[in-house]
Amino acid sequence: MDLSLFIVAGAGIALLLFMVVSLRVPAFLALLITSLMVGLSSGLEPQQVIDSIKNGMGGTLGFVAIVVGLGAILGQILESSGGIQRIADSLINSFGPGKIQWSLGITGFIVAIPVFFDVAFIILAPLLYGLANRSGRSLLYYAIPLLAGLAITHSFIPPTPGPIAVAELVKADLGWVILFGAMAGVPAMIIAGPMFGQYIANRIFVPVPEAHRDQAAASNVSAPSFAWMASIILLPLLLIMLATTAPFVLNSESRLLTVVRFLGHPFVALTIATILALIIARKKCDLSREALLNIANKGLEPAGVVILITGAGGAFKQVLIDSGVGQMLASVFIEAQFSVFILGFLIAAITRVAQGSATVAMITGAGLMAPILQLTPMSPASLGLLVIAISSGATILSHVNDSGFWLVSRYLGMSEKDTLKTWTVMTTIISLTGLASCLVISLFL
């Protein structure tokens, strides 16, 4: 083992965490600086470092920018048309009062597919206030299941940015990611949502914030029907899944297989769903073309930050590969016969706890795992499962350095202590359940 490369790797990770955690340097800039320093310190020529960063960022963004951009527009259309609120109301009415926690968990699971976590929670928070006002229960009884559903999909199910970025960095097929994300996400949602929600609500009473007491959740009567909204959300997932499974049932020379693969490519599947959403919003909600244009532009604003961070993560990964640092780390872990699923989980978990951002933790974990995968090739199914293991690690122990911690704390009116007992524990349950599911599934691959 080259000791100098090992030191470079450790120093690079330490520098990245120091800049993000202590100096509060934006993650995009911190990743670029780290990439430059690791490349130069490992012995690459300056021009080689520049080329690695350019190739890594370009190769990653060619896929991620399109998928995240389309997903952001789709989510914004569903939000602005009132579709998200319609989904929530329909599911709650369908399940009935006795299974309200299950309906909230499923609502979060579905809604977070096209909409960013924080946006979805802010939209649905009034629904929680209304339910708690009517029942007199602790707000946690309703909030925890919803938050669990939102957090799980945010981390496990494409086209949310985190799993999209990880899948691209480790070259995993999105169909497998969706399948295993659902398989790991359902038990995580059950345990961290309704089960933990009922348990913690009986021990910590959180009243509705004073400003929202005695106010019913608002609903948008002009929103499209639940069937239309659910169809828009599920359509791209079904097309992607179909493209993944079709080779197992169709002849490799079949023209139908070519068509299915084309329609199921994330670019095409999300484009179809976005066009459908625009048409429905125009016809059913009577939104003007100018309004729809403004909605689409608004949706792209938060996506830009995620896209740039992901691109910088791709640059970091490429520098690790080109400098030989990644291969050195890969050799160490291969000789130690360390499970790639546990390794990916641990790298993401340590990064998450240290700097707070789940997205940065996912990208860091995937970037460090990519060189290992070059020396130990994995099947498409195993790569999809690795994405979920990394995402599970990036979900663990959300605390005071995570913006999600403060969002939940302020919207539910909880102290930092109570937020640690509730939200932080919930994210840890999701993380560990996700890892356990991955390890069980891996036994059958």
Could you state, in order of their start, the residue ranges of all structural domains in the chain?
Answer: 3-442
pLDDT, mean of residues 386-413:
89
**What's the predicted TM-score (pTM) here?**
0.80
- The Cα–Cα gap between 418 and 4 comes to 45
Burial per residue of 369-405, b for 16 or more beta-carbon CB atoms within 10 angstroms, e otherwise: bbbbbeeeebeebbbbbbbbbbbbbbbbbbbeebebb
Residue in the block written with tokens 């009577």: 286
Phi-psi region for residue 43, left (φ > 0), alpha (ψ -120 to 50) or beta?
Answer: left
What one-character DSSP code corresponds to residue 324?
Answer: S
Structure tokens at 187: 């038990």
293-334 confidence digits (pLDDT tens) = 888 888 787 777 778 887 887 888 788 778 877 667 666 666
**In sequence order, what E strands does 141-190 have?**
none
Count other C-beta atoms under 10 Å from residue 286's C-beta: 9
pLDDT, mean of residues 71-92:
79
Structure tokens at 263: 């329609």
Count other C-beta atoms under 10 Å from residue 45's C-beta: 10
- The Cα–Cα gap between 239 and 193 comes to 28
Q: Is the pLDDT of residue 215 over 60?
A: no
- Closest Cα to residue 263, out of 239, 247, 282? 239
95-142 confidence digits (pLDDT tens) = 777 788 999 999 899 888 877 787 788 778 878 888 888 788 999 999
pLDDT at 401: 72
- Closest Cα to residue 351, out of 7, 3, 27, 4? 27
- The Cα–Cα gap between 53 and 32 comes to 8
End-to-end CA separation in angstroms for the chain: 31
Mean of pLDDT over the chain: 85
| Phi, psi values for residue 265, rounded to 5° | -65, 140
**Are residues 182 and 223 in contact, defined by beta-carbon separation less than 8 angstroms?**
no
